[in-house]
Amino acid sequence: MRAVRGMRDILPKDRGIWRVAEKAAADVARRFGYEEIVTPVIEAAELIERVGEDTDAVAKELYRFEDRGGRKLALRPEATAGVVRAYFEGHLNQLPQPARLFLIGPMFRYNRPQKGRYRQFFQLDVEAIGGESPALDAEVIEIAATWLREIGLGDLRMDLNSIGDAKCRPAYLDLLRAYYRPLKDQLHGDCQRRLESNPLLLLDCKVPQCQPFKVDAPRITDHLCEECAAAWTAVRRLLDAAGIEYRHDPYLVRGLDYYTRTVFEFYPANRDGSQDALGGGGRYDGLAEAEGWPATPGVGFASGLDRVTEMMKETGAEVIAAPLAEVLVLADAGLEVAAAEVARICRTAISVAVDYEPKSLRAKMRSANKLGSRWVVLLSASEAGRRVAQLKNMASGEQAEVAWDDLPARLA
């Protein structure tokens, strides 16, 4: 039996780097006043489908199934829909606003597995729900930038854009359609189809034949309503003041109507744009309503921990060693009770494991060497009777008889 395609184990040797990334995320989030939330990996399929019908993550890649009770369910492909649901269901909307939340957990997408792309992957998700100040957009971006910098990934490029809102976007989309209509025959199939239904996605297209037309396309940031223009200016001013660099990318968009104003994405600095993003986010003032709740603004950020930890490895980020037992207790067969007691005594001061395998002391010593324990406690029947043991320092090779009860002081 093997792991399911696209699913993978994170083995102990790799968990250290994940722990660094997760701990830094929790630290940074807390420093900004964001509290942790956990939502189920299973949601009603309708919740996910209502808010993401046009996206690949939902349209083509959703893990959708019926449970034994005939409920139509989905494994979440992203966190925001569930977090917004929990915000209302848990009455966070009745507390002082905005609710500042973060979540770390697995997401599921039925896509084609490759390096950096898995069917179960993990995200750090940060959301500020219930506030419309552009300062929150900048705050979420600052959290992302701070976290990435603190885990050694400061060398990034951030792309930033505004995609307006329900007030100014429709008129802009008409302009965009008018611009692209005469070029329709020269676009690739998907873009020809999207031209009328969702022209914003034409700007995001990566197919070579569609690229030449982008430069002269109207830019939405030239067609924002007064409120969106003010927010666009405010976000950039706040980022400048925070010392966060960005590049205005007029082609950065989101294809769903409930996304408003700010959109951003983080990429490794020295790679081209076709490289997968390390994270991204934006404002979604129409999302709550799309879920059937009262209209409520929000802004958020999601980053893939699989890719982030992969990059941390490449950049040689410092890893906290896995909590390997610092002391290994080795005893002859039949001395399990004594060995467990010695371990219990040592454990008041230091991490300890006991080698209970039925093999010779010599063989156990070889394993201790391989494991890299700092100390070994050797226990023989005659010594156990006197409540003493041999304590060996693995680095220096020094060995001495020590009373069991003196071990914690010697090891601390």
Between the alpha carbon of residue 249 and those of residues 93, 177, 312, 384, the distances in Å are 33, 20, 26, 72
Shortest distance, position 237 Cβ to ligand AMP, whole Å: 26
Shortest distance, position 63 Cβ to ligand AMP, whole Å: 12
Which of 21, 239, 278, 329 contacts ligand AMP by CB under 6 A?
278
Which of 76, 100, 109, 236 contacts ligand AMP by CB under 6 A?
109
The answer to the question of residue 214 lying near ligand AMP (CB under 6 A) is no
The answer to the question of residue 111 lying near ligand AMP (CB under 6 A) is yes
Nearest to 64 by CA among 78, 43, 39, 86: 43
Instruction: Please enumerate, as own/partner, the contacts of 355-358 that have beta carbons within 8 Å and a separation of 24 or more.
Output: 355/328, 355/329, 355/330, 355/331, 358/333
The answer to the question of residue 280 lying near ligand AMP (CB under 6 A) is yes
* Binding range to ligand AMP, per CB under 6 A, among 32-40, 133-141, 218-226, 278-286: 278-286
The answer to the question of residue 268 lying near ligand AMP (CB under 6 A) is no
Nearest to 202 by CA among 163, 255, 265: 255
The residue among 5 and 71 lying less far from ligand AMP, judged by its C-beta, is 5
The residue among 48 and 352 lying less far from ligand AMP, judged by its C-beta, is 48
Angle subtended by helix axes 226-242 and 134-150, to nearest 10: 30
* Binding range to ligand AMP, per CB under 6 A, among 64-72, 114-122, 146-154, 191-199: 114-122
Cα(114)–Cα(200) distance, integer angstroms: 28
The answer to the question of residue 121 lying near ligand AMP (CB under 6 A) is yes
Which of 217, 277, 350, 402 contacts ligand AMP by CB under 6 A?
277
Residue number of the CB closest to ligand AMP reads 304
What are the residues whose beta carbons fall under 8 Å from the beta carbon of 342, sequence distance 6 or more? 329, 331, 377, 379, 389, 404, 407
Distance of CA 154 to the CA centre of its chain: 16
In angstroms, how far apart are the furthest CA atoms of the chain?
95
Element (H, E) at 352: strand 352-355
The residue among 103 and 330 lying less far from ligand AMP, judged by its C-beta, is 103
- Please, what sign has the CA dihedral across residues 167, 173, 174, 179? positive
* Binding range to ligand AMP, per CB under 6 A, among 178-186, 277-285, 290-298, 360-368: 277-285
Cα(79)–Cα(111) distance, integer angstroms: 17
Residue 277 DSSP label: P
* Binding range to ligand AMP, per CB under 6 A, among 245-253, 275-283, 291-299, 325-333: 275-283
The answer to the question of residue 127 lying near ligand AMP (CB under 6 A) is no
Shortest distance, position 277 Cβ to ligand AMP, whole Å: 4
Cα(393)–Cα(376) distance, integer angstroms: 7
The residue among 244 and 305 lying less far from ligand AMP, judged by its C-beta, is 305
Which of 159, 285, 291, 306 contacts ligand AMP by CB under 6 A?
306
Shortest distance, position 300 Cβ to ligand AMP, whole Å: 10
Cα(48)–Cα(101) distance, integer angstroms: 19
Stretch 34-63: interaction string toward ligand AMP, x if CB under 6 A: -----------------------x------
Which of 123, 161, 262, 373 contacts ligand AMP by CB under 6 A?
123
The two structure tokens encoding residue 95 = 């507390």
| Residue with the two structure tokens 């406690």 | 377
The residue among 81 and 376 lying less far from ligand AMP, judged by its C-beta, is 81
The answer to the question of residue 304 lying near ligand AMP (CB under 6 A) is yes
* Binding range to ligand AMP, per CB under 6 A, among 67-75, 118-126, 346-354, 378-386: 118-126
The two structure tokens encoding residue 290 = 């799309």
Cα(157)–Cα(148) distance, integer angstroms: 11
Positions that interact with ligand AMP (CB under 6 A): 57, 78, 109, 111, 116-118, 121, 123, 277-280, 302-304, 306-307
